[in-house]
Amino acid sequence: MVKAIENIRETLKVDTLKDNFKRVRHAGLGAAVIIQEEVVDLVDRFIERGQAAETEGVKLFDKYFGKRKDGAKKAVNNIGEELDTRWTKVLGHLNLTTKSDIDELTKHLDKLSKKMDTLGKKKQS
């Protein structure tokens, strides 16, 4: 008899727990439905009042997503700069010439070439 009562109590606990989970699930679903209905009502009111015109929609879109777009551009630029810096370091460790090295040498060669031309003209005179 005691075991039967304990079995009934355990069954009631499980059923109560299942019922509580169902109630929580239903409450969550109900909240989602209410939120969806409220959002739809709010958008309908915006449209009725003319606040959801195309220009306003574009402004809202730009306001919320423009910042993210700018942030993404900055991140891409930062990544590009970081890659450039790291490649420059790698090339430096490998003792390979870089474009800036070649540009610098070209400038020096241009200067030397001009000096040689002026010296050659002086010798010829």
Indicate if 55 and 84 belong to the same structural domain: no
pLDDT tens for the chain, residues 1 to 125? 667 666 666 665 656 666 767 777 887 777 788 888 888 888 777 777 765 566 766 677 777 776 777 777 787 788 888 888 887 788 678 877 778 888 999 999 999 999 988 888 887 76
DSSP state of 125: -
Amino acid code (one letter) for 64: Y
Indicate if 56 and 85 belong to the same structural domain: no
pLDDT at 28: 78
Indicate if 94 and 54 belong to the same structural domain: no
pLDDT at 101: 83
Q: Which domain holds residue 8?
A: 1-61
Q: Taking CA 83 as the corner, what is the angle to CA 80 and CA 86, rounded to the nearest 5 degrees?
A: 150
Place of tokens 């423009």: 66
Indicate if 55 and 81 belong to the same structural domain: no
Indicate if 54 and 91 belong to the same structural domain: no
Distance in angstroms (rounded) separating the CA atoms of residues 116 and 60: 66
Q: Is residue 68 part of a domain?
A: no
Q: Is residue 66 part of a domain?
A: no
Indicate if 89 and 33 belong to the same structural domain: no
Q: Is residue 70 part of a domain?
A: no
pLDDT at 114: 92
Q: Is residue 15 part of a domain?
A: yes
pTM above 0.85, yes or no: no
DSSP state of 51: T
* Structure tokens given for 84: 């450039």
Query: 61, 92, 110 — which closes off a domain?
Result: 61
Distance in angstroms (rounded) separating the CA atoms of residues 45 and 41: 6
Indicate if 96 and 56 belong to the same structural domain: no
pLDDT at 90: 80
Indicate if 49 and 84 belong to the same structural domain: no
Task: Give the chain's domain count.
Answer: 2
Indicate if 5 and 53 belong to the same structural domain: yes
pLDDT at 107: 95
Q: Is 97 left (phi over 0), alpha (psi -120 to 50) or beta?
A: beta
